[in-house]
Amino acid sequence: MSTWTRGASSFILWRHGDYNMLYSDSLAGSFKQFEADTDAYFETLEKYKHLQTDWVPEIPDNELEDAVMSWMWNKFNEDWSNQYEVISTLPKSCQNVFSCRTIIDEVNNGGFNQLFFNSSRQFAIMSIDGFLALGSPQLSSIMEESVVLYWHNKETLDAYDDGTLESFSASYKEKIFDNLDERFYPACESLDYIKYIRLHTAFFGD
């Protein structure tokens, strides 16, 4: 975790697996509350790293989504370079939850532009079926559009992909995914992972 100050605001950057998360005290409240929430989150992840199927019915709703994600994350190697291969071997219900959660985390953090710059783009096609299974044909359709748009603009995006933060930031000026971002964010609000996991408990855990 890194912290720095710019003007009147302070910022926290922390990394989990393949994801960078940036928080500002002006957006996330006090650092103490942020740290408390972060500690609670990582305690939940640690508790369910070795999730067993017979635990799932007893896990409270407010921990269930992170519990199954922690179980799946724990199967990856240290740099997460094998995440797609691992998830592809799991039951379809696991693939649906993982791909949708991964896509939503990326897009909510930095838009589709960030998604297609990161290795998480591997899960874009998988999430098309995933969002349908979770009851959101709207998100499924948006994902189909995003994949087509990415391939139509891949050469343009690749020109920015030199591994530097400056080039990544500059790529947003192309505004390739702005319309999809605006449609994606509100569509996520009705997605119900908990209901889906409860209906497929036999597929989560060892």
pLDDT digit string, tens, across residues 148-161? 999 999 999 999 99
Q: What is the pLDDT of residue 122?
A: 96
From 87, 50, 48, 90, select the one nearest 65 (Cα to Cα): 48
SS3 179: helix
Q: What residue ranges of the chain have pLDDT lower than 50?
A: 1-15, 17-20, 22-28
Q: Residue 171's pLDDT is what?
A: 94
The helix (run of H) or strand (run of E) holding residue 2 is strand 2-6
What integer pLDDT is reported at residue 2 of this predicted model?
37
At 115 the pLDDT is 95
Answer yes or no: are the C-beta atoms of 188 and 139 closer than 8 Å.
yes
Domain locations in the chain as residue ranges: 1-43, 48-203
- Distance, in Å, from the CA atom of 79 to the CA atom of 35, rounded to the nearest integer, reads 24
> What token pair was written down for 161?
């992909």
C-alpha–C-alpha distance, residues 49 and 70, integer Å: 5
Q: What is the pLDDT of residue 42?
A: 86
Residue 26: is it exposed, middle or buried by C-beta count within 10 angstroms (0-12/13-18/19+)?
exposed
Burial pattern 78-100, b for ≥16 Cβ within 10 A else e, equals: eebeebbebbeebeebbbbbbbb
As beta bridge partners, residue 12 has 3, 23
Q: What is the pLDDT of residue 53?
A: 97
What pLDDT was estimated at residue 37? 73
pLDDT at 19: 46
pLDDT of residue 1: 40
Q: Mapping DSSP to helix (H, G, I), strand (E, B) and coil, where does residue 3 land?
A: strand
Sheet of 19-24, strands arranged across: 2-6, 9-16, 19-24
Whole-number pLDDT of residue 81:
93
CATH architecture of 48-203: Up-down Bundle (1.20)
For the whole model, what pTM was predicted? 0.83
